[in-house]
Amino acid sequence: MPPRSRVFPLVLLAGFLVGAGLLMVYRKSGGSAGAGVVLADLPDGSKLRLWKASFGTNHEMVLGRMPEWDGFRRKFPWAQRVLGAPTERIRGGWSGNGLCLFYSWEDEQGFPKPRPPWFSSTVDEHGCVMDLDSGRGESNLGGTNIAHQYSRLYPRRMAHFEARVGDEHGASTGGVSMSIHNPHPWVGESWVPEPVPAVRDVDGLRVTYLGFQGSGRHPWPKFEVEQGGQARPEWRAGRVYFRDVTGNEAQSPELCRHEAAWEIEASFERVPESEFGPDEAWTIHTGAIPDPGVLEALEGSRTLQGMTVNLMGLAGPGRFEFEKRGGGWTLLRSQPLDPEERGTGSSWGSDSNRQWMNLTKSTPWVMFDLTGFTPDLTWKVVTRDTTGRWHAHSGWSGNGSSYTVELAIPKDAVVTEVRFIAQRWRTVAFKVPPPQILPP
């Protein structure tokens, strides 16, 4: 019998060897992560592999075992021979409570393919189709391209529902769908709809909801706005959200019509032709728009509705290259677009020595710095032509607090003024009956 002083180290060594063996068996067996929970065959022989369906606000996929040991593995690389490499993870999803699908695409031999098809919609027990709406990203995880697609809309009452795969690059996916398991179906009391017409008062305005108008397939809520007993048609619903009691939210009326009630939240603003106070509107340029490829520097700063606007420049269509110097963007070079160019795009980045931004614009555009913006504000850049018509901007992109805004100007229009308008939303909400259920 060996001395007691030698027994304890031998026991430790035996325990370590047994544990290491179990870990190696666990790694080879795949553990709990598996190799995807659902497979779907596409008409061309390829497959979609659904790795995970995540619900809630924190969406993450982890590849590997025992992430709690990652710090130890990185500090002592020799431990990776037993514990395996540190885990890899990707995060998907945007703000709000929703569904995130993590999936990949494989060819006939099982090799990864890039840019998998989108999921297009989900279907509930009534046959209501909800678009998967909010966006998609793609990351490389363990040598495989993993797409992560997020949506605020899905059948939250159902423990299992169908997710349909959309067409990809013009090629049909044959209406393929996957069954999604929801571990926590929504349970609760339905909303009770209020009588229609329904009235709300907000900041001196009286807003009346009159029901849905338009066709059965494309309904839209109808409102009337009054102030002091007089109709105020210049107030328009510039932002509308549709919600149901389960937590779904959309900016179009695509919720399931079998719900007892929808909530419609409408935010109102005035059209550009309205009269605005000096704290709401600022003429930032008068005269003609610069020629293609030409940037005209604009100077000045003003605070509107608590939001500060610092002007930077107004330009015609073209390609523009900037570098950040002394806290502001400096134009390096610019040129008109080639005759065949029609696109609009932007890119920016940085390295150890510089920050840069490249812009390609097919329309005139304006650039400014914006600080102090809050969710209860809305802003627009509008142009007025020689006939007195106003034209709102068509789109914008941001890089930090710097914004570039494309101006939608008809070909026959001669611009005489560019104006920045800031307003505070007037927001009301109603719980009302959904549109009429459509026949099958």
Instruction: Give me the pLDDT at residue 83, please.
Output: 64
Residue 137, helix vs strand vs coil: strand
173 and 79 fall within a common domain? yes
265 and 296 fall within a common domain? no
Instruction: Give me the pLDDT at residue 315, please.
Output: 96
Instruction: Give me the pLDDT at residue 113, please.
Output: 87
Report whether 175 contacts 199 (CB < 8 A): no
Half-sphere exposure of 291 (CA within 13 A, CB side): 3
In a domain, 355, yes or no: yes
292 and 315 fall within a common domain? yes
Q: Into how many domains does the chain fold?
A: 3
Instruction: Give me the pLDDT at residue 25, please.
Output: 36
Instruction: Give me the pLDDT at residue 137, please.
Output: 81
In a domain, 10, yes or no: no
At 140-149, the pLDDT tens digits run: 776 778 888 8
In a domain, 162, yes or no: yes
In a domain, 407, yes or no: yes
Instruction: Give me the pLDDT at residue 27, please.
Output: 35
163 and 36 fall within a common domain? yes
217 and 338 fall within a common domain? no
Mean pLDDT of the chain: 85
363 and 310 fall within a common domain? yes
In a domain, 319, yes or no: yes
In a domain, 340, yes or no: yes
In a domain, 190, yes or no: no
Instruction: Give me the pLDDT at residue 80, please.
Output: 65
At 253-310, the pLDDT tens digits run: 999 999 999 999 999 999 999 999 999 999 999 999 999 999 999 999 999 999 999 9
DSSP secondary-structure letter at 122?
A: E
Q: Give pLDDT < 50 ranges for the chain.
A: 7-35, 170
306 and 361 fall within a common domain? yes
Token code pair at residue 156: 């939250």
262 and 300 fall within a common domain? no
Instruction: Give me the pLDDT at residue 14, please.
Output: 47
Instruction: Give me the pLDDT at residue 30, please.
Output: 29
In a domain, 11, yes or no: no
Domain span at residue 321?
A: 281-425
203 and 333 fall within a common domain? no
